[in-house]
């Protein structure tokens, strides 16, 4: 896959850095400049399709997925239909999540309290990380 060169310094050292309003966002490793390219339309990377469906199964709402991934909830609903995803009923746990930078993630994990007592998943989100945790509904 061809990545665009950085529009600021013309470096080729460019990495993907999330999606904003359905535009692929890139980060230039050389000058730290963020930029986006034209609308992806239907060509949204499968990486984000899978990520969106993962969140859907975890019980994250369409609107929240839109906010987190920058992909419209209509696209996500279409994928749920297309791949016939059915999230299992879940009345016991609800997901909570945090978006953390790498340093924040490291210090978050250092505290045993933060990772004790519930399931947890860490997934990459652009140049940050998302920690999804399950908490029991209060009885």
Task: Enumerate binding residues for Zn ion (CB under 5 A).
Answer: 6, 8-9, 11, 28, 30-31, 33
Residue 30 or 73 with smaller CB distance to Zn ion: 30
CB of 32 to Zn ion, least distance (A): 7
CB of 122 to Zn ion, least distance (A): 28
CB of 9 to Zn ion, least distance (A): 3
Helical (H) or strand (E) element with 18:
strand 14-20
Helical (H) or strand (E) element with 70:
none
- Please say whether the beta carbons of 136 and 36 come within 8 A: no
Of 18, 22, 27, which Cα lies nearest the Cα of 38? 22
Which two tokens mark 58?
A: 């975890």
């Amino acid at each position: 896959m061809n990545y665009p060169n950085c529009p600021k310094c013309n470096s080729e050292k460019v990495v993907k850095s999330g999606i904003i309003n359905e535009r692929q966002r890139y980060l230039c490793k050389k000058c730290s400049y963020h930029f986006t390219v034209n609308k992806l339309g239907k060509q949204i990377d499968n990486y984000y399709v899978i990520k969106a469906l993962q969140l859907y199964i975890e019980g994250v709402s369409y609107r929240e997925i839109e906010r987190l991934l920058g992909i419209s909830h209509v696209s996500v609903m279409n994928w749920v239909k297309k791949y016939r995803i059915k999230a299992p009923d879940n009345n016991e746990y609800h997901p909570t999540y945090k978006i953390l930078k790498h340093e924040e993630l490291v210090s978050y994990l250092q505290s045993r309290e933060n990772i004790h007592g519930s399931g947890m998943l860490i997934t990459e989100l652009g140049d940050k990380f998302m920690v999804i945790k399950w908490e029991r509904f209060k009885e």
